Amino acid sequence: MQITLEKMLKFPCTFTYKVIGLSQPELTNNIIKVIQIHIPGDYTPQIKSSNKGTYLSISVTICAQNFQQIENLYNELSKIHLVRMVL
């Protein structure tokens, strides 16, 4: 029996995205802009740099009202040109 993420979550709920991308000054701003379009709010991203400084890992927690918001935001974050991975 396979349990999907959608069935595990009770809405509304907090959900954290970890976005990994190239270490450029505009990366964090671009991520927050996309999140604000879909789920407006005050966000405080947690930012970590890779050992060599090539990549940034940016974690942002949102409050999702439904699973569609989680999926839509995942897809939109993936489209940012500096982003390499969304977890």
Do residues 56 and 47 lie in contact, with contact meaning Cβ atoms separated by under 8 Å? Answer: yes
Q: What is the pLDDT of residues 39-85, one digit of tens each?
A: 999 999 999 999 999 999 999 999 999 999 999 999 999 999 999 99
All domains of the chain in start order, with CATH: 10-22+39-63+70-82 (3.30.70.260)
Q: What is the pLDDT of residues 13-50, one digit of tens each?
A: 999 999 999 999 999 999 999 999 999 999 999 999 99
DSSP bridge pairs for 15: 62
47 is written with which tokens?
């930012």
